Structures are given as structure tokens and as C-alpha cells.
Structure 1
Amino acid sequence: MRGRIRGDPLAGQRARLSRRWETVALPGVGRSGAEGGGGPGHLSPLPLGHEPLFLAAPASGKNPGIGPTRGTLCRRDPPPISLEFEKEQSVGEVHVVLGNEACDLDSMVSALALAFFLSRTSAQPSAVPLLNVARGELPLRGDSVALLRRLHLPEAALIFRDEVDLHALHRAGRLSLTLVDHHVLPSSDAALEEVVTEVLDHRPLEKQWAAPCRVKAEPVGSCTTLVAERILQEAPHILDPQLAALLHGTIVLDCVDLSPAAGKVTPRDARCVEELESRFPELAPHSRIFQVLQEAKFDVSGLTTEQMLRKDLKVISGEGGTLALSAIYLTLEAFLQRADLALELAAFCQGRGYDGLVAMTISFDASGRPTRHIVVFCPHAELRAAVCETLEQAQSPALGLSPVPSPHPDLSAFTQANATASRKAVLPLLRARLAPPEDDPPLPPTPMNSLVDECPLARGLPGLSAEAVFEKCNQITLARSAAK
């Protein structure tokens, strides 16, 4: 076995990818004995008080899980590392389902659920979901952490971008990609375009993909809706209460509790939620799910300004400069009153090479109606004026901006009358403004929320020998054995 790994320096990486997703396969979902009751695979979400959060208590004697089979989302315990499975994966291709660089809940669940669907319905290679941020970034995403914990999905089973060298797999000719919740790769990943075999997104296409790449970009509120529709249409038998709760909670949060006033939900999102609730009546009321996940998402207590800016960040670049766009889950007043805000914003931009920053704040009233504001920070007066002009004069969509007093000369702030226009609508406007006059705009740079010790992923991953991978696998096995 060791000789096989040494003979193929990528074998350990491919085996680690497939083993963690296929063999471990989101372990710990089912609990037995005192924790969950029932038999192997029994589902027992963490309660909120005495009320189950995402699933109602199952009837006595019923087992809503699908048991410890290969590729399932519901397992009783993490199995030991399988050397035979590693041997099987020492050659061959790895198919990665890659979410977007913001790695919000919609992107994360789209990648997890689609990879699960592909692994259960497709021939080899097995699909592996890859979260497009460093592992250390996950704690900043409170809604994602809350959903994972409530559904007993352990972080240890997830795979993050700082743990995988996609370019090495690509150079070896053993990588294929599906993109979910995005369809434009950053410039540092441009070489990977040639191995993209499928795109699934809910944004208007900014890039045309040539055949044989399959592209589905349709205007729904949540990309997870597109994944759920595919599962319901092509393989409804793979759904269990756990997977249904994962899809259901994500769509409900992303579509703001299906509220038309928020301007995100579409009839397809609503039908998908209804179908999941019809198939799994044990799902908790979506209003309750939304409340818990929304509170977790908007909980920025304890976060520094820099962490809030990184929490939900996208970066665009062009001939006109590089801009960071951050979603800020505070009221405009609370954001502007943060201590040393201008100094913090300047340090954030300078330290990461950004020419400016657009912060889009969002808050909700008691009825669930959103309120949005936009803050433009830029020490360069000409660029700041250009960005503000683009946003104020936008017609598709019209944002309805009105200036408000600013506490700093390098900062402009606006109320946004069109509260349905999210960052998804603003990104193309600013990308077009920054683009050079050529027909084909440049791809965006590596997003800086994908960091390893503050270093862009574009600088590469540290070298990892095959022996080190094998030793790490042994350590994981021993640690799991000791924990039992």
C-alpha cells in the first residue's frame, strides 16, 4: 500500500478527498443509544429548548435515516479509514463539485447536495464537494455552522479549498469540475476552465461555456432550489429526512422565509419547499427554521470590522481597479458608528490590495421587510466618484439611491429604495464599469476571503509528501478509535 502511494504522489490527495466524502460521508448524522434513541441511522437533530428544530420527533420504532451505506448522508459512526478504498482511488479521476468563493449557505449546500446526488446516481469518478474557502473561514458563517450542527453534520467531514491542490490534479489529467452557485472562475483558476463539465447557477450568464459543458443558469431565488429540483425529478429515492432538512432550510433562508416582500422567492422556490414538506411532514415549520438561521446569520457579536468584511466577501477587478464587495448584516447606523471605522476600512483595503470597498448593509423589520444601504469607501476620489455615479445612475436595476451624511471624506453612504436589489444585481454593474473597453472582460481575481494564514490561495499550497498524507490518515484513524 505504501509503495502504491509513493508511486503516485497524488494518490494520497485523491484518496483523502474521496475517502472523507465517500467513506466517511458526513458521519455522525445518525445517533443511537442515549443520544438519539432508536437503531443505527436514527435521526435526532439537536433540540432548541424542548422543540426539535428542523424535524419533528419521528414516530416510535420508525427509522427515518437510510442507514450506513456508501455515499449516504446519514451514518451512525465514522468508520475507520479503508485502505482498500484508498487502493481503489490510487489511480483515476476525481470529480469536484465546487461552490463559489463567498461560500455562503446556499453555495455550501448546493455543493454538498449535488455531489451526494452525483455519487449516488453517476458512474465513476465519484463526486467530491469542495467548499471554496479555507477551513478557518467557516466559523464566520454563523448560519452555515448552525445548520450543520443542528443536523449533526460534522465539520471534520467537509473538505475546504486550502486542503486541496486542484491545479496539481489538473496537471496530472485527473480532475473534472462542476461549478455550483457561480459560473466565472477567478483569474488564478482560469486554467481549470478546460475541465469544467457542468455549471449550475441562478445568476444571469456573464460567460458563455462551449459544448460539451452542460450549463443550467435559471433565475430562482436559491441555487439549492435547482439542486433540489434535480433530485426530486431524477432520483427522489435518495432523499431522506436529513437531506430534505438540509435543502429545505437553505431555500427558506435564502428566499427570506418565502416572503414576496423581500423580492427573492420565485414560484419554483416555493413549489420546491412545498414538495419537500409534502414528502417529509416531520420538517419543522419553515418560519421557525428561518428565524433560527436568520438569527445565526446576522449575529456578528464579537466580530471585528475586518472579520465582518470577510464574512461574506466578493472581489471584482478590471482596468479601472479592484473592488471588494461585502455584505454587512447590520443597520447602516450601527455600521457607521463602529470605532475607527475609516481606519479599519483603509487597513482592510491596503492590506489586501483593494482600491476600494463597497459595503452593502441589510437589516429586517419585524414584518421581515429588508432595509438596504450602500457604503462606498475609497481613498481615490476619482474612483470613488465613478463607483458612486455607476450605482446612482443604474437603470437595470434602478437602485433608488439617496445620499446620507458621511462621517469621513473618503466614505460615501446611501439609502437604497429598491430593497430587492441585492449584491447579485450590483456586481455586474460595477464589473462593467471596471472592465477595459475590449469585448471580453478579465476574470475576477482570487477572492481574499479564501486565505491560508493571510496568503491568497493563488500563491499555492505548501508541499505535502505522500508519506505525510499516509501518516495523517493513520493519526485520524487512531484518534477516532480513541474517541469511541
Structure 2
Amino acid sequence: MNNYLNLSKQALNQLEKVKVVNLVLGNPTCDLDSAISPIIYSYLIHKEVEKCGQENEIVIPVLNIPEEDYPLKTEVKYFLETKKIYQQNLTFADQINLNEFKSCELRIHLTDHHVLTKDWINLKSHVKSVIDHRPQDSNWLWSDIYTNIEPVGCCGTLIAQEILKRMPQILTQEIAELLHGVIVLDTINFSPEAQRFTTTDIETVKFLQEKFNITIDNKSLFNELVAARNDISHLTSYQLLRKDLKIIHGNVALPGFPILVRDFIKKSDALNAINDFCNKNKFDVVILMGLFIQKDGKIIRDLGIYSQNFNCDLKIRIVNVIKECEELQAKECESCIPGFVLFAQNNVKMTRKTILPIIEKTIIK
């Protein structure tokens, strides 16, 4: 895999002989699923191109973040390095110069998301395939292209199914271990409490374990990856806000934390970091989403809403929607920051993925 990634990156500097460029984009959150999925799906497409004898066609997986943000993705960096996949062989979004592809046919493949961000939206007509496990956005109903959009626990599960369906002979020990790790982490090790998995996820992991004799037990692997994700000792509060960031409509930020929001806002520099974050990125509202997994596997979630303008109408609407959402079971708590509204989230099954459509509806009203 490392050899393929290195060659795909080198190909960016040798475009004079290339006729077709395939870019495989991960989700811009670039969590472990959003990193592993484009890497492995691009390898599948690469092998299909190779089998067809297309010598002037290249396939490049793209981690959809600037390279400078890669150290913030602590579990991604850790897990890839355990498989000897290093930063210098990865391709990042800010290393892609679309102007260089003008003489080539550009094909885009989306993994772990099916809604294009503003940076890529002008290239919608170039999208050729979509593999995603998120709930279908009714505003993005793709047609006339290949899609596999199924609400399983992990996009890595769908990537594994694509390989088994299209080219099972490329499934190696390395790929199996990468897929096994990301599925275990993304499903929260098949936690009954979180309910973030399906029978397809379970069957896929069982198949990978048995076929490739993967001996590490799921619990140990999960704890190892969670520890890597939670290792934020070297990150500033500002970097924490960028670590797992989702942006809606350009002016609302949804940072996800590997700690609880209530603990984050107690940091001495938290308020300054949030204000700098809003000012530099022109965010009107920030919705912080916290997650803490105890050693016994119990999940705790909370969320907070902040705007520099205490009377911001959008902030007030979002707060009211959260209060009124019976499914979320949010309970307002005392906050140590003026104007910051903090909620304990009693329904831990609702993730950012499921809360996002509720927030989006509120924003576009």
C-alpha cells in the first residue's frame, strides 16, 4: 500500500503523459473512516484500471484536509504509522492544484460523504461514484453515476463489500487489518448502547478476522485507537477546535471533541480560542459536541452552543431546537462561560451525523 501511495503522489508531478485523473476524496472531517476509506477505495479503482491496461490513467486518494492539520488527526496518524503508512506518502487537499488537470479528464469519487463542500462543489459534474454510510441528503440525490449509500456503521464496511464484489483478489492482510481497525472504532466496538452498527458491519469484521487470522481482540484494538484519538496532550485549545471539524453553510461550525465540552470550556484559554476560531473563520455560531467513553464502555455525550453575539437570532433558534428535540433528550447545564449554552445529551445514540440534519433545517429557515 505504501508503494502505491508513494507512486500516486509522484504522479502529480508527471501529468504530461496522463489522460485521466481519478481523485478519491474522503470526508473533510478526516477521522479514521474518512482517511482509510479513500485510501483503500482508490487502491481498488487503481487495480481495476491496471487490469484494463489503462496506462495513461492514475488514481489518487485525497485526505480532504490541509497537510498542516494532519497532526491533529491523532488516531489517523497513529494507526496508519502502525501499518508503516507515513505522512510523506499521503496526498492532502492543499496539494491538489486543479489547474494542472486542465489537459486531463478529471473523475471524482466520494467516500464517507455524498455532499460536496464549497471547495469542490463546482466539480459536481465530474463525480463518477459515491460510497457513503450517512443518511441520504434529499438535496443530493445522485443519478447516472455509481452509488453505494447504505446506513451501515462504518464506510469501511461498504469499501470492504465493494472489494469482495468487484475484485476480491486484492484483499491483502494489510488491507484487512486497516478495514478491521476502522470498523471496530467507527462502530464503537459494536456497543449495544451506541447502536452504531448493523449486521453487515458484524459480518464483515468476522469475515476479515477469520480469513486473515486477525488475532487482536476487538476490545483491545478499540481501546488502543480511542487512546490515540484522545491523546490531545500536545494540542492547543484552538487546535482542538479544528481537530474534528464540520462546517455548515459556511457560517456554522460543529467541532467534535474526544473530551466533554464541559471539560473543554474549563480550560483557561478556551474562551479566547473559541473567539479566535470565530473571528478567523467568520463563524456566526459554534456548536461544540463532546464525547467521552469510560473504561467500562459507557458513553457520555454533551454539546454547547456559542456565538460572540449573545443575541444572535440563529444561535437562539438552534438552542430552542435542541431543547425541543425529544429524541435528543438534552438537559441544560450550568456553564462557566457567559453566553455559552451547555447541554448534557442523555440520548447518546444520536451522533453528529444524526443531529446535523436537525441543525441544517434550523439554519435554512
Distance 1:203 1:180 in 2: 10
- CA distance 1:93–1:260, change in 2 (3 Å): same
User: One-letter code of the match for 1:370?
Assistant: I
Distance 2:141 2:337 in 1: 44
Task: Say whether residues 1:424 and 2:356 are aligned partners.
Answer: no
Deviation at 1:332, TM superposition (A): 3.6
Correspondence 1:28-427 to 2 at 5 A: 86=14, 90-122=17-49, 123=52, 124=54, 125-166=57-98, 168-169=100-101, 171-206=102-137, 207-317=139-249, 322-380=251-309, 381=311, 382-395=313-326, 398-427=327-356
Q: CA offsets, 1:373-407, max 9 Å, x none? A: 01111123232211111222235xx1100000111
Q: Is the 8 A contact 1:374 1:414 kept in 2?
A: yes
User: One-letter code of the match for 2:308?
Assistant: P
If you compute each CA radius of gyration, which structure gives the higher value, 1 or 2?
1
- How does the TM-score come out when normalised to structure 1? 0.70
Q: CA offsets, 1:42-94, max 9 Å, x none? A: xxxxxxxxxxxxxxxxxxxxxxxxxxxx99xxxxxx9xx79xx948x623010
Larger relative contact order, structure 1 or 2 (CA cutoff 8 Å, min sep 6):
1
Structure 1 residue ranges, 4+ long, deviating more than 4 angstroms after superposition? none
Give aligned-pair identity as a percent.
Answer: 29
Distance 2:255 2:142 in 1: 31
User: One-letter code of the match for 1:272?
Assistant: T
Distance 1:379 1:180 in 2: 35
Distance 2:232 2:352 in 1: 19
Distance 1:424 1:222 in 2: 12
Distance 1:167 1:317 in 2: 26
Unaligned ranges ≥5, structure 1 = 1-20, 28-69, 72-77, 437-484
Distance 2:209 2:245 in 1: 32
Distance 1:209 1:195 in 2: 15
Distance 1:140 1:227 in 2: 25
Q: Is the 8 A contact 2:261 2:288 kept in 1?
A: no
SS at match of 2:304: strand
Deviation at 1:168, TM superposition (A): 4.7
Deviation at 1:167, TM superposition (A): 5.3
- How does the TM-score come out when normalised to structure 2? 0.92
Q: Is the 8 A contact 2:19 2:104 kept in 1?
A: no
SS at match of 2:61: strand
Q: Report how many residues are paired.
A: 356
Aligned to 2:4: 25
Higher mean alpha-carbon deviation, 284-293 vs 203-212, is at 203-212
Distance 2:44 2:32 in 1: 18
Q: Root-mean-square deviation (CA), in Å? A: 2.2
Distance 2:104 2:141 in 1: 20
Distance 2:119 2:81 in 1: 33
